[in-house]
Amino acid sequence: MIGLGHYLVVSAALFSLGIMAVMTRKNAVNVLMGIELILNSANINLVAFSRFSSGNLDGQLYAIFVIVIAAAEAAVALAIVLSMYRIVKSVDLDRADTLKG
Amino acid sequence: MNINLLTQIVFYFFAGMTVLSAGVVVFSRNLIHCAFALLFTFFGVAGLYVFLGADFLAGAQVVIYVGGILVLLIFGVMLTQKLYELHLKAETFQFWPAFALTAAVFLTLITIMVRTSWHKTDLQPLDPTTARIGALFMREYVLPFEVASIFLLIALIGAAMIVRRRSE
Amino acid sequence: MNPQILKDLSLFYPEITLALALLAVIVVDLAMPAKERKTTFLVACLGLLLALAFTIPLFKVPQTTLFYSMVTVDPMSVFFKAFLILTSFLVLLAAPGSKELSKEHIGEFYALLLGVTLGMVLLASAVDTLMLFLSLEMVSLTSYIMVGYLSSERQSNEASLKYLLFGAVSTGAMLYGLTLLFGLTGTTKLSVIRDMLFHGAGAGNNSLTLFVLTVLVLAGFGFKTASVPFHFWCPDVYTGAPTPVTAFLSVAPKAAGFATLIRFFFTGFSTLSATSQWSAVSTMNWALPILMISLITMTLGNLAALRQDNLKRLLAYSSIAHAGYILMGTVVMTSQGLQAVLIYLITYLFMNLGAFLIVIEIYNRTGSFDLKVYRGFWKRSPFLTISMTVFMLSLMGIPPFAGFFGKLYVFGAAVNRDLAWYAVVGALNSVIAVFYYARVIKTMVMDPADAGGDEGRIRLSWASSVLLWVMLIPTAGLMLFWDRIQQLTLSSMKLFVQ
């Protein structure tokens, strides 16, 4: 029988992979993909707990709002990346390190 | 083949697809491969939602994530091709320390997932959820619903504002 | 329509006003010709003032929760509402005078400012984990956009991207923690969560889970309040953003972050005893991790600020250090500690905004944030130099300026809880801080001006002078208002725990 634990293991795996992507990837779009993995893992948690831990649809509604937030974040992130691309393209390709780390 | 075994096979198929494509997203060198692997991850998650009886959510997942966010990501990847070489993020970890840290996090989480006694309730029958979700939006969740609409408005204005060309 | 919702709306006027003002600014901005800036500015001002006016009567209202226990109206949330709207108003007044912002079309900036204020107000009153996350993301996302406002400038873009990526990961981790909490208790309402935790939902094997989820949730709170080790975005973002935005970020979202941290841990994870002493859930003493964070934050912030030559970076590390002191007020878990947090925030608002105002003015005249151009400013503008001295002394915590009272109360709350060593660490850190604040004063007053620089006298516009006086009077003359402030914070330190 597929129980709560199965779903939680999947979400833990996704969360860990998401963190790995965020830590090791250099390209901003890649990091954004990692962030989407993290948010999806949280969503799986929410829907699984909604089924097994709360007798109502609270978790599913929570997940809907998380999807909304993720979409807005991705849109703004890509807007910024595109804006940066425009600036950098007109100057020579070079590292984004004008701000001291 | 009895239904239980079939259920398990399909579940493991979706779960496996999700995790394996997530692996491709994290470790692949080619950005386009990452984007398409992410597609399969999202589909896998939608499949898991169907298993959990969240039919509306599964549909929303496919429409918004695959149809919206993923398309946006692919646009971003295609339009900023040269940014492969541009390191947009200066501080990154070396691979093996990051891997060790991630493995530690994963093991901790697995321990928690398996050992904890989560709050248990009776399993409800798997009814369609769309109508109930709609009703909830107008009652218990009316405030987050309205706030989310303003939130999206701001995100829309902001994103458009950042990208538009200055006429100077 | 549901009568309960209609009744709740009558207590929701500030938020409704903010939302309507946001829409009005957008519409007016579209309707007006591009050169016309005054109208949108006035609409935004009116909106914020009206919202503030609607907030004041809420102080007398009995404590309750609104909209099916999503948000609450209690003295502390009303205090933060007024505080946050006031901060946004002051930043709004400073915005037109800044050379950085006037490069771009400013109508959207006012809309974003109203939007972030709405988000912060909701964040400070949220008692449901969904509402908490939603408003947190609303504040964060709007801040990312505000930081990247100068989208044709590279620094602004980089800062915005860094802020977004770091913030999204931190809040994503926080969300994961919140989902674990949902699984442990089966609910998203903080009051029900508390009841379940105190009845053993966190016991036995679950204590590890509780610990992990606390750490994850602290990632989100630490990010919002710029506490170590979630502070890495702070110096770069503060430097790259337009300075009015930096000034805003250093006070308002930080304060909102503290408000929600307090509410989450005090109503969700603790109970109040009759002697106004809070005690945490036995399986997770959340004060301990926050204590450690507070200690590292104070120290690292102060030490890093010593080496900064850029005023914005210096003030960034300074604000990180101040977050450490404010956390001290929450760690002690007494009502006195909460009162100390509120007092500290009031003083911090005026002295920090004041310092940033001067940085904006000097940038307008010299085009730089480097400490070098501050040399010998005494000759160019005695008024600016004296004001900066006042703000620096207040930030140091020297009496009789406002900053002293904030520190006094926070350290006092620690001592009263038999944590004298904690107060001593705080005091030592304040001593370290003296060095970098004093360096600014010394540069302005005593160093000779650079030979190649502009020598002319500076005259401030009357609007800027008035605004500067608005910051100076509470900073220098806090003792005049002391009674009112004491009373206000004493009555505001109550949280609604049903």
3-state secondary structure string across chain B = CCHHHHHHHHHHHHHHHHHHHHHHHHHCCCHHHHHHHHHHHHHHHHHHHHHCCCHHHHHHHHHHHHHHHHHHHHHHHHHCHHHHCCCCCCCCCCHHHHHHHHHHHHHHHHHHHHHCCCCCCCCCCCCCCHHHHHHHHHCCCHHHHHHHHHHHHHHHHHHHHHHCCCCC
Give residue B126's pLDDT: 87
Contacts of B89 in chain C (CB under 8 A): 162, 165
Same domain, B167 and B84: no
Last residue of a domain, one of B38, B73, B91: B91
Region B91-115 average pLDDT: 89
Which of the residues B102, B133, B162 would you substitute to probe the C interface, choosing the one with the greatest number of C C-beta atoms within 10 Å? Answer: B162
Give residue B29's pLDDT: 87
pLDDT at C177 over 80: yes
Q: Is residue B152 part of a domain?
A: yes
Domain range for residue B136? 128-168
Confidence of residue B109 (pLDDT cuts 50, 70, 90): very high
Confidence of residue A92 (pLDDT cuts 50, 70, 90): very low
CA distances (Å), origin C186, targets A1, A57, C176: 22, 11, 15
Same domain, B86 and B133: no
Q: Is residue B49 part of a domain?
A: yes
Q: Is residue B77 part of a domain?
A: yes
Same domain, B23 and B72: yes
Contacts of B65 in chain A (CB under 8 A): 36, 40, 67, 70-71
Q: What is the ipTM of this complex?
A: 0.94
Confidence of residue B79 (pLDDT cuts 50, 70, 90): confident
Task: Render pLDDT for C132-160 as a digit per residue (tens, 0 to 9).
Answer: 999 999 999 999 999 999 888 888 999 99
| Contact between chains at B108 and C22 (C-beta distance less than 8 A) | no
* C162-176, C195-209, C416-430: least confident range: C195-209
Task: Render pLDDT for B44-72 as a digit per residue (tens, 0 to 9).
Answer: 999 999 999 999 999 999 999 999 999 99
**H or E stretch including C279?**
strand C278-280
- Measured between CB atoms, does A22 come within 8 Å of chain B? no
Q: Is residue B104 part of a domain?
A: no
Last residue of a domain, one of B91, B119, B148: B91
Contacts of A74 in chain B (CB under 8 A): 69, 72-73
| Contact between chains at A10 and B61 (C-beta distance less than 8 A) | no
Same domain, B155 and B76: no
Strand C270-272 with C278-280, pairing: antiparallel
Region C180-206 average pLDDT: 87
- Measured between CB atoms, does A27 come within 8 Å of chain B? yes
* A63-67, C242-246, C297-301, C374-378: least confident range: C374-378
Contacts of C173 in chain A (CB under 8 A): 19, 38
Inter-chain contacts counted by CB atoms under 8 A, chains A and B: 237
CA distances (Å), origin B86, targets A28, B98, C376: 10, 22, 42
Q: Which residue of B has its CA nearest to C114?
A: B154
Same domain, B61 and B1: yes
- Measured between CB atoms, does B163 come within 8 Å of chain C? yes
Q: Is residue B109 part of a domain?
A: no
Computed on alpha carbons and rounded to an integer, the radius of gyration of chain C in Å comes to: 22
Torsion of CA C242, C247, C252, C254, to 10 degrees: 90
Of B88, B150, B157, nearest to C108 by CB-CB distance is B157
Of A35, A58, A99, nearest to C158 by CB-CB distance is A99
Q: Do residues C125 and C274 make contact, with C-beta atoms less than 8 angstroms apart?
A: no
Interface list for chain C against chain A, based on CB atoms closer than 8 Å:
130, 133-134, 137, 141, 144-145, 148, 151-155, 157-162, 164-165, 168-169, 172-173, 175-176, 178-180, 182-183, 186-188, 235-236, 239-240
Of B140, B144, B162, nearest to C145 by CB-CB distance is B162
Same domain, B15 and B69: yes
Q: Looking at the 3D structure of chain B, how many domains does it have?
A: 2
Confidence of residue B166 (pLDDT cuts 50, 70, 90): low
Q: Is residue B96 part of a domain?
A: no
- Using DSSP's 3-state secondary structure scheme, residue C65 falls into strand
- Measured between CB atoms, does C108 come within 8 Å of chain B? yes
pLDDT at C368 over 80: yes
Same domain, B5 and B54: yes
* Burial class of residue C258 (count of CB atoms within 10 Å of its CB; 0-12, 13-18, 19+): buried
- Determine the longest span between alpha carbons in chain C, in angstroms: 72
pLDDT at C102 over 80: no
Same domain, B69 and B15: yes
CB contact set of C14 (below 8 Å; sequence gap of 6+): C51, C52, C54, C55, C58, C81, C85, C121
| Contact between chains at B101 and A88 (C-beta distance less than 8 A) | no
For chain A, the average pLDDT equals 87
Nearest to C261 by CA among C303, C240, C289: C289
| Contact between chains at A84 and C173 (C-beta distance less than 8 A) | no
pLDDT at C182 over 80: yes
What is the CB-side half-sphere exposure of residue C34 using CA atoms within 13 A? 6
Contacts of A58 in chain C (CB under 8 A): 130, 182, 187-188
Confidence of residue B91 (pLDDT cuts 50, 70, 90): low
Q: Do residues C288 and C331 make contact, with C-beta atoms less than 8 angstroms apart?
A: no
Give residue C85's pLDDT: 96
- Measured between CB atoms, does B102 come within 8 Å of chain C? no
Same domain, B19 and B72: yes
Q: Do residues C358 and C442 make contact, with C-beta atoms less than 8 angstroms apart?
A: no
Task: Render pLDDT for C57-68 as a digit per residue (tens, 0 to 9).
Answer: 998 888 888 888
Same domain, B13 and B61: yes
Q: Do residues C224 and C252 make contact, with C-beta atoms less than 8 angstroms apart?
A: no
* A33-37, C30-34, C66-70, C425-429: least confident range: C30-34
Strand C71-73 with C64-66, pairing: antiparallel
Min Cα separation A24/chain B (Å): 5
Give residue A101's pLDDT: 42
Give residue C451's pLDDT: 59
Contacts of A98 in chain C (CB under 8 A): 154-155, 158
| Contact between chains at A30 and B34 (C-beta distance less than 8 A) | yes
Contacts of B24 in chain A (CB under 8 A): none
Q: Which residue of B has its CA nearest to C185?
A: B119
Q: Which chains touch B (3 or more CB pairs under 8 A)?
A: A, C
Q: What tokens were used for C442?
A: 């010394």
What CATH number is given for A4-90 in this structure? Answer: 1.10.287.3510
- Measured between CB atoms, does A101 come within 8 Å of chain B? yes
For chain B, the average pLDDT equals 89
Q: Is residue B111 part of a domain?
A: no
CB contact set of C197 (below 8 Å; sequence gap of 6+): C184, C185, C210, C268, C269, C281, C283, C284
Q: Do residues C414 and C295 make contact, with C-beta atoms less than 8 angstroms apart?
A: no
